[in-house]
Structure 1
């Protein structure tokens, strides 16, 4: 998929820069040509010699190198690539991108390019969570910048949390998705997945048994067909796929906000198992037993209906809205009624009775409900269901 593709790789100045050397190797294994650009800070972590040796290309470092300007100016360098990748993308580089600054070679290339840009953020967890960084992230996403990661994990500084740079193979997958020439190239699709957790107190919550496997497989299949996928996931058992923009949420209201932030989109697929109700009187501290055997009085409030909210939008409604219906009886009747009630285009229905083993399992047996009627599919792996549904989505959007 990457054979003959030209990648302009900007390496920022963070400890994660050492991963960029492996990223170069992985890209070249797949036939890509990598042109490296080192920031001054990056040279504190990796050397121009090692970077050049692995890329088998000249390393670009200085905006004011007159020889380079005569041979290949920064404008040409920024536009000769098929994709511009920033890995690691430090807080400083992301801030420059968001503000439109161009005071060194890396930032000038990013301002001058007419190609898509994919970044792999890497920074301390506190920096990632800082309001200024979050504002920059929102700006970059609004500008159409693609993200790979960051992941959550241990960092060189000894802290733990989000901000760890994605692994090289994850970035490769994101690059492949960005350059995919499939039928969904240029299409933006929102996919929700996993359960939501509605807190009772800081320790307990209401949820369901959804693993997120089907939504994850579908997001992966859509990205494989070239779509730009925004993956809004609750606390799922399975990790999110590479090559998509991941938005992690806990509650139904958070999921709605993330979906609304991701609009506009060409299609929206609501595979998440969203809790219908939340605890209106959730406690700020852990609820204790009173010794009398009495249950705490829980008051419930209805959660927002995310599928109906998007399906019944006026201007800005995605061209295709797909819902999921997990039922335990009268599957087709309930799903058909749900499609009419919600106002969506398709409903993917399945029987999640305990005897089926579908909830939390590796296989699924679905019925697709459309305006034309019900189409039942044989039981198959969830990846196969995802691939088949993704192809149908591509055909519908063609």
Structure 2
């Protein structure tokens, strides 16, 4: 029946009919001392259209692409849909390889016209790999394999390009595949043994790989983690901001982003985590997936909170002290200026905080007063120890407080 031998979407012959047609064509070619060209055609960056606009648009483009291809060939040539966005075409009665060039030109020209669907314009191009019977092989699976190798080499050159199969191309492909396999092993080792949590997320923002570090960090089993989306582990409104940034990544507006979030653990507690999201692209610049690293910064955040609390305590001590105190940080900027200092100098906090003033020239008797130089991080006991020494040892300050006993 036709259903068994034809593609239901495009109506083109399928692989089953391709095998039958090849057997017949091969016999004719041998008898007539002619060649057969097998063209393997891929729609350039078709995946982007499918992912962005949906499968309905993608299917319609496939149907229209099939029509355009059929229009370029003779009735006895065989145009088949091989699978996905790939087409395999048998061209009979070829005398020389150059006979194919004019056919390739016709194909490229047919795809110069944009596809118009739902009032949207889509630019769709092709890449073509060619293998020849009997030059490259007399076996259909081998011809398909070699045409596929040639097609992938054509893709590296951009849209509407072609490549004839050669042994050099296959050797190059084999070398690349071996390098990729080595790198995959290296990546897997690094991925699993990394001190940071790592998860890989597809273009639709669904997690598909996670390392043991992240699983231990959150306490989940692998299947529990992978059955959820990353935002399901995030506490609070930051998940919305993350999804907005992911969309910006897809649109090429940003190259990556970092965000500190609270992540929910299996024990229903939370950790503070710093996540870094970056896109991973193929040779054509298309985003294949995202890599997300997760660093547990709970101890850092707790230390920051403790430090902030210590600073607040120090500020209260300084402000409540009857002794004029100012604090200068390691950048020589005044960070604290208490009320007693305001009374002594006549300068308000707003006038001096953030400045690098170290000499305060004005108080009631117009005598210069040496401001007290302190560094952030001095504890309370050390603060008064340093301050007391300066009061006792500095003649200038001692004279300014003549008759006042601060340490009685």
Larger C-alpha radius of gyration, 1 or 2? 2
Normalised TM-score (structure 1) = 0.23
Structure with more helix by fraction: 2
